[in-house]
């Protein structure tokens, strides 16, 4: 990591914006947080816990020693601290409650309501709540693939997450909180413990956005900030779509799922394309490496979804033909009434030439302008009941998956180009 230029955050620390620590007399690294004193405290407790895995222990210890504020702290969380463990329908996420044993990390602790006890009575619930357990906070557990057999590569998502949290402070952006790591005692899978986003994914809220068009400027500014942080870490997301954008409220949106993040300079070594078809940039479909500009293409598709209220190409099969059409320039149809500067930006994002697409920082600037231009006091509009029913094409697929047709796709495209240039040639002669 380059340390030559200190970030604004580091400057704020050295300018003693957060004050001096009364114990060690050094600059505090955040409000109420002294990195120097807290790392010593953490170090003292290193022999009180272990994950049973050296690499995981080391990662947790490193972050505790280097944490400049509460958000950067992670811990080993024994599985028996979770209650009401429930599998969410999609993508293997698990919703649960964590007890409030360690209050020093200043998490919001909620009083558990009747609904929580109702869930506890459900037969599928593991570790149901006991009558005397009255508080906790909702979390989500995410399995690290095949992680009972851990090695460096499997820690990719975890390490990217840490990197992004660390540089979020430097970039005035925010990220989903990462609380730590745990292990299921039955399956031995290691799991990331994350903040629970009560509004779910942006995809499940698209209609709300259509009916409340001002939301998009606020949501997209935050998402662009997170994307810029990610790109400044020299990472690319690689699987950016509305199902991976999570809402804490209708205002706060975050990027999640950093499992496919990879270094921007790491060219595609596997030839594998992975993702959700409508969001994959045409050059990636054709087998070119995934780049920051490919993330921007996906961002443009999400922009469109916020105006239409439906996922892009939901009514088409997500197959080779759709890929071909995307390579030939097919894009979602602009929704009538969309603000002209918004349309202009969206079209730049999905430009077939990756070099013509804006950067994440350009997006931030544009959304700042649009937010102040279009922002006004407004009453939220309810989505009419009959609006929310969408008939998805049976061959559409919004779960990330592997595609292996870039070779055949290129053959067809080269062939069709030959034909069109030949016919063009005959016209010219």
The 10 Å CB-count burial string (b at 16+, else e) for 412-422 is bbeeeeeeeee
Q: How far apart are CA 358 and CA 356, in angstroms?
A: 7
Query: Nearest approach, Cβ of 18 to Zn ion (angstroms)?
Result: 11
The 10 Å CB-count burial string (b at 16+, else e) for 103-129 is eeeebeeeebeeebeebbeeeebeebb
- Complex with Zn ion: residue 29 or 201, whichever CB lies closer: 29
Q: What 3-state class would DSSP assign to 167?
A: helix
Query: Nearest approach, Cβ of 63 to Zn ion (angstroms)?
Result: 18
- Complex with Zn ion: residue 21 or 334, whichever CB lies closer: 21
- Complex with Zn ion: residue 28 or 216, whichever CB lies closer: 28
Query: Nearest approach, Cβ of 162 to Zn ion (angstroms)?
Result: 23
Query: Nearest approach, Cβ of 31 to Zn ion (angstroms)?
Result: 14
Query: Nearest approach, Cβ of 3 to Zn ion (angstroms)?
Result: 22
Query: Nearest approach, Cβ of 24 to Zn ion (angstroms)?
Result: 3
Q: Which residues bind Zn ion (CB under 5 A)?
A: 21, 23-24, 34, 36-37
Which H or E run contains 217? helix 215-232
Query: Nearest approach, Cβ of 30 to Zn ion (angstroms)?
Result: 12
- Complex with Zn ion: residue 37 or 383, whichever CB lies closer: 37
- Complex with Zn ion: residue 24 or 395, whichever CB lies closer: 24
CB of 199 within 8 A of CB of 249? yes
SS3 content of the chain, % helix, strand, coil (to 5): 45, 15, 45
Q: How far apart are CA 191 and CA 56, in angstroms?
A: 11
- Complex with Zn ion: residue 36 or 268, whichever CB lies closer: 36
**Number of other CB atoms surrounding residue 95 within 10 Å:** 16
Query: Nearest residue by C-beta to Zn ion?
Result: 21
- Complex with Zn ion: residue 18 or 350, whichever CB lies closer: 18
Name the DSSP letter for residue 273: E
Token look-up 């700042």 returns: 368
Residue 20 phi, psi dihedral angles, 5° rounding: -105, 150
């Amino acid at each position: 990591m380059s340390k030559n230029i200190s970030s604004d955050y580091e400057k704020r620390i050295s300018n003693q914006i957060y004050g001096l620590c009364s114990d060690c007399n050094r600059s505090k690294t955040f409000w109420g947080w002294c990195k120097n004193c807290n790392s010593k405290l953490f170090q003292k407790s290193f022999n009180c816990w272990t994950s049973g895995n050296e690499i995981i222990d080391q990662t947790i210890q490193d972050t505790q020693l280097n944490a400049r504020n509460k958000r950067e702290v992670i811990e080993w969380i024994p599985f028996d601290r979770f209650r009401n463990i429930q599998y969410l329908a999609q993508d293997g996420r698990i919703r649960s409650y964590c007890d409030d044993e360690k209050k020093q990390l200043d998490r919001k602790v909620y009083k558990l309501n009747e609904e929580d006890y109702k869930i506890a009575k459900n037969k599928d619930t593991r570790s149901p709540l006991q009558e005397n357990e009255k508080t906790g906070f909702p979390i989500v557990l995410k399995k690290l693939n095949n992680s009972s057999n851990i090695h460096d590569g499997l820690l990719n998502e975890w390490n990217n997450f840490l990197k992004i949290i660390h540089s979020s402070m430097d970039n005035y952006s925010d990220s989903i909180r990462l609380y730590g790591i745990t292990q299921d005692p039955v399956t031995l899978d290691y799991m990331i413990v994350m903040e629970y986003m009560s509004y779910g994914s942006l995809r499940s809220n698209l209609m709300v956005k259509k009916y409340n068009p001002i939301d998009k400027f606020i949501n997209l500014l935050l998402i662009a900030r997170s994307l810029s942080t990610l790109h400044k870490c020299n990472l690319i997301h690689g699987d950016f779509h509305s199902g991976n954008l999570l809402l804490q409220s209708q205002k706060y949106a975050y990027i999640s799922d950093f499992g496919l993040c990879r270094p921007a300079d790491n060219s595609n070594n596997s030839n594998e394309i992975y993702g959700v078809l409508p969001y994959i940039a045409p050059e990636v479909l054709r087998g070119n490496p995934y780049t920051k500009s490919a993330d921007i293409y996906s961002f443009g598709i999400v922009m469109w979804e916020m105006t239409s209220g439906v996922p892009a190409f939901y009514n088409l099969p997500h197959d080779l033909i759709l890929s071909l059409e995307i390579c030939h320039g097919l894009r979602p149809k602009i929704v009538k009434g969309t603000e002209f500067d918004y349309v202009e930006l969206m079209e730049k994002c999905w430009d077939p030439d990756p070099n013509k697409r804006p950067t994440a920082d350009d997006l931030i600037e544009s959304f700042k302008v649009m937010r102040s231009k279009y922002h006004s006091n407004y009453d939220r509009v309810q989505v009419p009941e009959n609006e929310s029913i969408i008939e998805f094409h049976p061959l559409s697929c919004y779960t990330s998956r592997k595609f292996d047709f870039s070779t055949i796709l290129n053959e067809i495209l080269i062939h069709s180009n030959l034909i069109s240039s030949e016919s063009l040639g005959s016209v010219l002669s």
